[in-house]
Each structure stands twice: as C-alpha cells, then as structure tokens.
Amino acid sequence: MDVHEKRIALVDDYLDRAYLVDEVADYYSGRTVLVTGGAGAIGSNLVIALSGLVGDNGKVLVLDNLSAIKTRDPWNITPLPNVMFVLGDVRSDVDLKRVFKEEPSIVFHLAAFFANQNSIDYSETSAEVDVIGQIKLLEYSKISGLEKFIYASSGCAIYGAYPELPIKEEFISMHLTTPYQINKMTGEMYCNFYNHHYGLPTVNCRFFNSYGPGEVPGQYRNVIPNFIYWAMKGYSLPVTGTGEETRDFTYVLDLVQGLIKAAFYSTAVGENFNLASGKELKIRDLITKVNEATDNKADVVFKERRKWDTKPRLLASIDKARQLIGYEPVVDFEEGFQRNIEWFRDNWEKIEAVADFPPGMSSAVRGVKGICSAGARS
C-alpha cells in the first residue's frame, strides 16, 4: 500500500468503528460539500471521510491557500476522483465565487490562521483570515441557501485562562490571551449571529488538542507533531513549564466523526459543543511515550512558560456532544499515537522538507540550543 492508500484504509477502518447510523450514509450520498482548510491537519482527514460518504455522484470541494504546509505541492491531500482542490483564499471573493458556483449544500469551515503564537506575531492577518474571511464565507453561505455551516471552533482557545474542569459548554471567559483565541470566539459569535438573524443553520464544534496523521511540525504547530519530529532527529524535547501540565489530546479521526455527525443531526443546529477525548495526559508522560517510540535518548530541556500559555490543565466534558449527536471517541491515545508515528515514518522526507523552524525560532523553544540546529543529536 502506498501512503495515500494507507490513509484511506485508516479512515475507512475508523468509520466502521464510529457508531454512524445507516442514515448518515444516505444523508451525505450524492452531495456537494465544501471543506475550507481541507489540506490541513484535520481537513485532510475529513476530506477522505467525506469522499467516501458522498460517493461517486457527490463531490468534495477543498478551498485552501496551502499557507500551513508552506509549499505549492498539496501532498497532504489524498488524490481521490470526487475531490476537487481549489487553491484559493477564504478572503477572496473570486475564490469564494468559484467554489460556491459548484453549489455546495454543507460547508465545513476549517481554514484558519493557526494558531496562538502565529496570531501574536501577525495579529492583523489572524483577524483578516479568522474574522473577515469567516464573515465572507457566512455571507456566501447565506446567499446560496446553504443547509449546514459547520464551524471548527476551539475549546483550547475560547474558554480562556482558568476554566473549571471538566470544561462544560456554558463556561464563558473574557480572559482570552491571544488574538487567535479572540478570533476563534468571534467566529462562534458570528455563526450565532447568522443563525439567529438569517436562520442559517450553523453549528459550533469546539475541538481540543488534535493529533494524528496529517499534521506537519512547525514553529506554530502543536506539541505532538513537534515532539515527534524533534525526537526522530534525536533532539531534546523542550517543556515550557513543569511537565505536570495536562492536555485533552484528541485523535483527529474522532474530531472527524464529530464533524460528520454535527452536520447530520438537526439537534446540533444553533448549538455549540466540545469535541474531545474527555481524558487528560500529562506533558511529562507524553514525553516518555515520544522518546520511547522514537528511541530518543536526549534529555528534556525546561523552558519558561510562555506568557499566553496560562492553562495548567485541560480536560473537556463531552457529555453535551454525546447527548446531541451521539459523539463517542473510539481511538485511545496508545492507538492514535501509534498511527501518528507510522504516518511520520511513512512521510518523513516530505515532512522534513516542509517542517517550518526558521533558525533559532519556535514558539515553544525560542533560544533553546540544540533545537533547530543541525547536528544536535545527543
């Protein structure tokens, strides 16, 4: 099996285990759906799943400007006959007209200027993409009479600095610490506005700490791909804090399950809910797993906590998603992590070519010696 066939098999196997009722296949069959950000970490998995669900008579449109993988080669998109890739920008009327001409009935809006540190370094672009781009998309969705608008919100972002655990949806915080967090929250509020004012059927899905096949490492990316990447190169893993911090790491295909169900169940319209694993993992335990899996012997490096990174623990309640859409995570961390490592090994050359760590630069490790410099294997 080549790398693309492997990813398709992984998604097919997952969907067999995802508690999808038979009506889900009927609902999607023959549809045209649009995935913004479909070349990204989560979108590239969603596109494979939707391609199977819409079938030969349907179409999956992908609108992505490829800014996340920093290449014109969309290698992260699995070539499939019913997937149409449009290289374009959610801020561009020309590009939006191009995709809405295909008359999608569902939009999964995943494109975003990812993530916290990136939004601090480029706060205007963050707002342009995540706020203005989203308003434009909502406008086109409204005009076209769209059936469902599914928004990839962020539970890690919008609950602010000190939420009570496990985090429930009614918790609201004004203590947001980065432009990304503010913009993701604003995105939810615009969905609510379009739902309330125009009757556009919107759904806010609040993801927590995605990991799995499809996410390339980089200075602005998540901890798991970066740890795997550095460990595979034999580098020290940097901890920005004590290592006792926890995160609710969620396997990417569990998020895909949540998105598929969010569009299908009418109970989800006008709602917001967490999509997470509902389990905590300590960063120091994550490090042990990464170093063991990659046979990395380098020591851990402790760094100061980043100013915006205020959450010592993250754990989501997934009761509301269970109740509203029958969401149920099916892949535990051991299995998901194994799939992630395999994907890195299978795609190592491509990943190494696009891993984006300018010399001395990483949002997690600015100034740590041994990271981002060649020959630091210890």
Ligand X SMILES: NC(=O)c1ccc[n+]([C@@H]2O[C@H](COP(=O)([O-])OP(=O)(O)OC[C@H]3O[C@@H](n4cnc5c(N)ncnc54)[C@H](O)[C@@H]3O)[C@@H](O)[C@H]2O)c1
178 vs 236, which CB is nearer to ligand X? 178
Q: Which of 111, 138, 237, 315 contacts ligand X by CB under 6 A? A: 111
For residues 204-233, one letter each, b for 16 or more C-beta atoms within 10 angstroms of the residue's C-beta and e for the rest, the string is bbbbbbbbbbbbbbbbbbbbbbbbbbbbbb
Tokens representing residue 334 in the block? 């051991």
In whole angstroms, the minimum distance from the beta carbon of 19 to ligand X comes to 22
- Beta strands at 148-154 and 106-109: parallel, antiparallel or unpaired: parallel
By CB under 6 A, residue 68 contacts ligand X: yes
By CB under 6 A, residue 7 contacts ligand X: no
How far apart CA 216 and CA 268 sit, in angstroms, is: 31
Nearest to 49 by CA among 103, 2, 134, 108: 108
Stretch that binds ligand X, among 49-57, 59-67, 193-201, 308-316 (CB under 6 A): 59-67
Q: Which of 7, 91, 247, 320 contacts ligand X by CB under 6 A? A: 91
Q: Are 320 and 273 in contact (CB under 8 A)?
A: yes
By CB under 6 A, residue 116 contacts ligand X: no
By CB under 6 A, residue 78 contacts ligand X: no
By CB under 6 A, residue 65 contacts ligand X: yes
How far apart CA 350 and CA 346 sit, in angstroms, is: 9
298 vs 318, which CB is nearer to ligand X? 318
By CB under 6 A, residue 33 contacts ligand X: no
Q: List all residues 6 or more positions away from 72 whose beta carbon is below 8 Å from its beta carbon.
A: 66, 87
Q: Are 226 and 216 in contact (CB under 8 A)?
A: no
| DSSP codes, 249-295 | -EEHHHHHHHHHHHHH-GGGTT-EEEES-S--EEHHHHHHHHHHHHT
Which of left, alpha, beta for 214 (phi over 0: left; psi -120 to 50: alpha)?
Answer: left
Q: Which of 20, 32, 64, 320 contacts ligand X by CB under 6 A? A: 64
Residue type, 195: N
By CB under 6 A, residue 341 contacts ligand X: no
Q: 149-188 mask for ligand X (x: CB under 6 A)? A: ---x-x-x---------------------------x----
Stretch that binds ligand X, among 23-31, 48-56, 106-114, 230-238 (CB under 6 A): 106-114
| Nearest residue to ligand X on Cβ basis | 40
By CB under 6 A, residue 75 contacts ligand X: no
Residues in region 209-248 near ligand X by CB under 6 A: 209-210, 222
By CB under 6 A, residue 42 contacts ligand X: yes
In whole angstroms, the minimum distance from the beta carbon of 104 to ligand X comes to 15
Running DSSP on this structure, what letter comes out for residue 130?
I
Residues interacting with ligand X, by CB under 6 A? 36-37, 39-43, 63-68, 89-91, 110-114, 129, 133, 152, 154, 156, 184, 207, 209-210, 222
